[in-house]
Amino acid sequence: MEEKIKGLEEEINNFSAKTSDEIEQFRIKYLGKKGIVTALFEEFKTLPTEQRKEVGRFLNILKTNVQEKINTLKSSLEQTEEKIESKIDLTLPVDYRNLGSRHPISIVRNEIINIFSRIGYTVSEGPEIEDDWHNFTALNFPPEHPARDMQDTFFIEKNPDITLRTHTSSVQVRVMENTKPPIRTISPGRVYRSEAISARAHCFFHQVEGLYIDENVSFKDLKQTLLYFAKEMFGAETKIRLRPSFFPFTEPSGEMDVTCFICGGKGCNICKHTGWVEILGCGMVDPDVLENCGIDSKKYTGFAFGMGIERITMLKYQINDLRLFSENDIRFLKQFEATL
């Protein structure tokens, strides 16, 4: 029996397994109900007492060895399985996700906000659905002004009139009503006009308006502020010119042109060979508008301006169709991926 046990020890030591199935077969072969070791224990019971002590010791060692072998085989199998699982192949192609990009209107809006933030302007926002007072009456629109017509403005309700705002001046009216001068603010936002959609017109667009109110604000403050803006936005060599214009809420009013940043003033398609491109409207806030908003027009004066973000974006990126901004065409939007 001792010989048998020695032979088995060798067999056990030499055994190796690749799968958990093979390990289980091994366990059954030795320790199962009809297993070799189990049978040896049965045989052991029949031995004379003198032999039992020593054979018993060998048998117990054999049994422990089988058990240990099983444990070692199991843990080394687990380790190789883990290795296979965590085998990361760095040569595989990356899991490519499409990164979004900012919309060109947002890019230009942020740029305008940054430029005015640097000279102390705050950003103010307000509702897109407005009452007649904030959109028209406070801003000096006469009762028969064409903008008050259904042809030009989207009405949500009549009598009292509730409209989609046609400019963000309504936001600035709210700022003036709620804050004491000095006021330095810009109001970017979406505005609506009832227009047939074409390459040059849409029923909504985006605006940034600006408002500066304090004691002793004059036209030269307006001019210098807008010159600063033009140089920051279009380059340090940029020159501006102001042409007289009309708005119900400013007096005097002007239209501002900048030297063409495409051809530098030589003449090209963008500036229609004039060397100048129109970028915004501006003027001194009408004293009646100040009074409508609770500001003493004898003590305070101010200037205001407004620009269409689409127009500036179209000039800057040479985009020739307004509809591209709202079509969500990925081929258009992808072209702005590199811009923050």
What is the contact surface with ligand 2NL in residues (CB under 6 A)?
Answer: 169, 172-173, 207, 209, 211, 247, 249-250, 281-283, 285, 289, 304-308
Residues contacting 7, CB < 8 A, separation 6+: none
Q: How many CA atoms lie within 13 A of 291 on its CB side?
A: 6
Beta-ladder partners of 157: 162
Full strand arrangement of the beta sheet holding 162-164: 129-131, 162-164, 155-157
Nearest distance in Å: CB 138, ligand 2NL:
8
**CA–CA distance, 126 with 205 (Å, rounded to integer):** 16
**With respect to ligand 2NL, which residue has the nearer C-beta, 24 or 177?**
177
Nearest distance in Å: CB 338, ligand 2NL:
28
Nearest distance in Å: CB 318, ligand 2NL:
20
**With respect to ligand 2NL, which residue has the nearer C-beta, 249 or 300?**
249
Residues contacting 95, CB < 8 A, separation 6+: none
Q: Positive or negative CA dihedral for 190, 191, 197, 199?
A: negative
**Which residue number has the CB closest to ligand 2NL?**
306
- Tokens 């042109």 belong to 257
**With respect to ligand 2NL, which residue has the nearer C-beta, 188 or 308?**
308
**What's the full length of the chain, in residues?**
340
Nearest distance in Å: CB 94, ligand 2NL:
45
Nearest distance in Å: CB 267, ligand 2NL:
24
**With respect to ligand 2NL, which residue has the nearer C-beta, 136 or 305?**
305
Tokens of 31: 């320790």
**With respect to ligand 2NL, which residue has the nearer C-beta, 104 or 308?**
308
